[in-house]
Structure 1
Amino acid sequence: MNFNLETQRLLLRPLQLSDADDMFIMDSNPNVHIYLGNNPLTSKEESIGYLKNILNQYEENGIGRFAMITKNSNKFVGWCGLKFITEEENNHSHFYEIGYRLKEEFWGKGYAYEAAKAWYSYAFTILKVDTLYASAHIDNKGSRRILEKLGLQFKNEYTWNNHIPCVWYASK
């Protein structure tokens, strides 16, 4: 990946293996994983594997999750971006999904919406996608508010990974 996006407060840049420490801090926090199946990471090696998967997505699909870095203090906030999903989810496959995950210290400050808004615009103006999808845990009110504020519309409830109750959103 050789481009960045910017918002008022954030630089959105491709994730790198050097982000492993920050990714581990974020993904080892049980609070971050409450709505993700309650399986926080237990080793930095897991973060490295996750990052390698994202780097592979960049190569295969030309898109993926990007690091969110504060412009004023150069702090790693989390990730946000588009992912091209090839496997089936909620009776869909081969679609673009918008998603985000933040370190707990950055929750409630508007960063997820700010970054997601930039990616939403990128999806339709640069990638020219027809429909953008997203999902969230059924009880994750904060994430659901962000998706609705972006303009995505609730479509249905479904179960992800055979046990996680989710809601499905689409841009149309």
Structure 2
Amino acid sequence: MRKFFMTTKRLGFSVWKEDDISDALNLWGDPEVTKYIVVDGIMLKEQVQERLKKEIETYNNARVQYWPIYLIESGENIGCCGVRPYDSEKNIYEMGIHLKAQHWGIGLAQEACLAVIEYSFNNLKADALFAGHNPKNISSSRLLKKLGFTYIHDEFYPPTGLYHPSYLMKKQEYITYIRENGKEK
């Protein structure tokens, strides 16, 4: 049974380990997932292995990563959601989420992101969260706005070779969001 350090109503958050290569390949090896993440939309096995290695290194160095997330009911890995250092001097983390296509459109992305936002502000004591998305990914744009992020600028993202709309959420904006919407909204 997988250990979770954080849970929501439907999701459990774990930490990537080297023996999670099968879950990593099922996630980042799927062109439906990676079409907005890398320039050609496809991650080869070696690239997935490197991505997993990078997530593990980020955790070892900063105690954060894009954590693997699982359905509590079945134990199925559905993707990852988490943070990584973005601007350490200003105590800003970058939030990201990658979900398998069969789990899109049923509120799991919002549920996972809300948990990560809460964890970031309450446990990591972040001053702000940064997030960006591929300009072709309209669903991510809607999600970030729904979560209360504010557009700040377009930022070049080397893995896609595109300028990504980029957003920021300060702690006060999170507090306002929770006050107005509640945690599960």
Same-fold call, TM > 0.5? Answer: yes
**Structure 1 position 48, deviation (Å):** 2.7
Q: After the TM superposition, which residues 51-90 of structure 1 pair with which residues of structure 2 at under 5 Å, given as runs?
A: 51-85=52-86
Q: Do the aligned residues in 2 keep the contact of 1:66 with 1:80 (CA within 8 Å)?
A: yes
Distance in 2, matches of 1:137 and 1:94, equals: 24
- The residue aligned with 1:158 is 155
- The one-letter code matched in structure 2 to 1:163 is G
Higher helix residue share: 2
Distance 1:84 1:46 in 2: 21
Unmatched runs of 5 consecutive residues or more in structure 2 = 171-185
Q: 1:42-121, aligned counterparts within 5 Å?
A: 42-43=44-45, 45-85=46-86, 95-121=92-118
Asked if 2 retains the 8 angstrom alpha-carbon contact of 1:10 and 1:115, the reply is: yes
Alignment equivalent of 1:167, drawn from 165, 168, 176: 165
Aligned residues: 166
- Contact 2:27/2:79 (CA < 8 Å) preserved in 1? yes
CA deviation after TM superposition for structure 1 residue 94, in Å: 6.8
- Could you tell me whether the CA contact under 8 Å between 1:26 and 1:104 is conserved in 2? no
**Quick check: 2:91–2:126 contact (8 Å CA) kept in 1?**
no
| Structure 1 counterpart of 2:105, one-letter code | G
* Deviations 1:34-63, CA, capped at 9 Å, x for gaps: 2122342222x4323222211111111111
Percent of pairs with identical residues: 27
Letter of the 1:131 counterpart: A
Q: State the 1:139 CA deviation.
A: 2.1
Query: Is the Cα–Cα contact under 8 Å of residues 120 and 150 in structure 1 kept in the other structure?
Result: no
- Would the alpha carbon gap of residues 107 and 38 (structure 1) be closer, same or farther in structure 2, given more than 3 Å must change? farther
- Structure 1 pair 86–51 and aligned structure 2 pair: CA distance change class (3 A): farther
Paired position in structure 1 for 2:136? 139
Q: Distance in 2 between matches of 1:4 and 1:49?
A: 24
CA drift of 1:86 comes to: 6.0
Identify the residue that residue 14 of structure 2 maps to in structure 1: 13
Partner secondary structure for residue 112 of structure 2: helix
1:19–1:49: structure 2 CA closer, same or farther, 3 Å change rule? same
The 8 Å contact of residues 30 and 38 in structure 1, kept in 2 or not, is answered as no
Counterpart CA distance in 2 for 1:54 and 1:68 is 14
SS at match of 1:171: strand
After TM superposition, which residue ranges in structure 1, 4 or more long, deviate above 6 angstroms?
A: none
Relative to structure 2, which stretch is displaced further, 157-166 or 144-153?
Answer: 157-166
Relative distance call for 1:4 and 1:16 in structure 2 (3 A) is same
TM-score by length of 1: 0.86
What is the SS of the residue equivalent to 2:14?
strand
Shift in Å, 1:135:
0.6
- Partners of 1:32 and 1:3 in 2: CA distance: 23
Tell me, in whole angstroms, the C-alpha distance in 1 between the residues paired with 2:74 and 2:19: 18
